[in-house]
Structure 1
Amino acid sequence: MTVTDTVKDTDALTLTFVAEFDAPVEQVWRVWADPRKLERWWGPPTWPATFVRHDFVAGGAVRYYMTGPDGTKAHGWWTITAIEAPGRLEFDDGFADEGGEPIEGDRPVHAVVTLQERGEGTRMTVVSHFPDADTLERLSKMGMEEGMRLAIGQIDGILSGR
C-alpha cells in the first residue's frame, strides 16, 4: 500500500496522509490534473467517482459524485484555490446537492496537496484542514480516514498502467 503515514491532529484540526510512489512528480501530478485518472482513484473502491466538471485552474470549479454499491450518489464539489504545477494544489472540498452545487451551510474542508521528489519517486502529502472540531469529528465518523487511505491506495495501479 502506498500510504506510509496518517496523522489526525485534533488540536490543529487536520488530517494528514503521506504516500510514496515509484513514479516521477509529473506523473503523479497527472492523477490530479486528468479527470479520467482522478475518477479511477478519488473515492474508495466501492464508491467510484464520476467527474462532471474539472476546471483545473486557480479559481476553477470541480463537480463530481461518488456512486455507492447500492446505487446511492454522494455529490461533492471543489473550488481550486491555488495551483503550482507540478508540486502543489489547494482546494476547498464540500458536499453538494444533486445539481453539483455546494449545500448551503456546509462547512468545507481546505485541502493542500504537495508532491516532492523522493529519489526516483514521489512523496505526496495531503493535509485536510477542518473549519472546526465538529466537522473533523463528523467526517471522521463517516469514514473519511479509511476512505482516503483506500482511495490513495488505488493510485499505484494507475501509475503502473493497470
Structure 2
Amino acid sequence: MKSSLLMNFSLDKENKKIKVEREFAAPVASVWAAWTESKILDQWWAPKPWQAKTKKMDFTEGGYWLYAMVGPDGTEHYARADYKSINPLKSFSAQDAFCDPDGNLNPTFPRSTWTNNFTTSSDKTLVSIEIQYDKLEDLETIIEMGFKEGFTAALENLDELFQS
C-alpha cells in the first residue's frame, strides 16, 4: 500500500548534497526514539531482507553508533556514525562512514555528514535530512550503490513499525 505521507528525495549536485524530507504518522518523541535508540534502529534501519545489528551505541556528542547491515546469507557490512551535535527532539548531526567490525574507517568509501531535523505538526513528524559529501564523485558513488532505493525501503520499514 502506497503511503500518503510526504516523501521528497532530491540531489543537489552543485552543493554535493542529498536532501530527504520524510513524514511519519507518529509524535516527535516516538520518531526521535526510532532514530536515536539502537533497539529501535535495529528494527528498521536496513532495507528488507537485510537487518541492522548494533554492536555499540553511545548517542552523545562525541559518541558513535557502530552497526552492521547483515544480509540474508549472513554477510556483514559495517558502518559507524560519529555524533557531532545533538539538540534533543529537534536535531542531530553525525559523520557517517563504512568501517570494519572494530569501527576502523574504510578510506576507499566516501564519508558523509548527516543533519537530521525533526518538526512536529498535529499527529505527524517531519524528518528533514541533509547528507553532505566532500566530492560530487562521492555522492554519485553512493547513489550508484542504490542508496535512494535502500533508504526509501528502510523508511517504509519505520512506517510499518509505527503502525504496529
Q: Which residue of 2 aligns with 1:148?
A: 151
Structure 1 stretches lacking a partner, 5+ long: none
Q: Which residue of 1 aligns with 2:53?
A: 50
Please point out which of 138, 144, 153 is paired with 2:141. Answer: 138
User: How far does residue 73 in structure 1 lie from its aligned partner after superposition?
Assistant: 0.9
User: How far does residue 21 in structure 1 lie from its aligned partner after superposition?
Assistant: 1.3
Please point out which of 89, 92, 96 is paired with 1:93. Answer: 96
Matched, 1:24 2:27: yes
Q: Can you list the C-alpha shifts for 1:4-44, whole angstroms capped at 9, x where unaligned?
A: 11111111111111111121111100001210100111121
RMSD: 1.4
Runs of 4+ with >4 A deviation: none
Q: Is the 8 A contact 1:23 1:159 kept in 2?
A: yes
Please point out which of 106, 118, 121 is paired with 1:118. Answer: 121
Q: Which residue of 1 aligns with 2:37?
A: 34
User: How far does residue 154 in structure 1 lie from its aligned partner after superposition?
Assistant: 1.0
Structure 2 stretches lacking a partner, 5+ long: none
User: How far does residue 80 in structure 1 lie from its aligned partner after superposition?
Assistant: 0.3
The number of residues matched between the two structures is 161
Structure 1, 131-140 or 116-125: larger mean CA deviation? 116-125
User: How far does residue 53 in structure 1 lie from its aligned partner after superposition?
Assistant: 0.7
Q: Which residue of 2 aligns with 1:67?
A: 70
What TM-score do the two structures reach when normalised by structure 1?
Answer: 0.93
Q: 2 CA distance for matches of 1:31 and 1:11?
A: 31
User: How far does residue 3 in structure 1 lie from its aligned partner after superposition?
Assistant: 5.2
Q: Can you list the C-alpha shifts for 1:74-129, whole angstroms capped at 9, x where unaligned?
A: 11011000100111010000000132321246431000111101232111111111
Q: 1 CA distance for matches of 2:112 and 2:91?
A: 17
Higher helix share: 2
The percent identity for this pair of structures is 25
Q: 1 CA distance for matches of 2:121 and 2:9?
A: 18
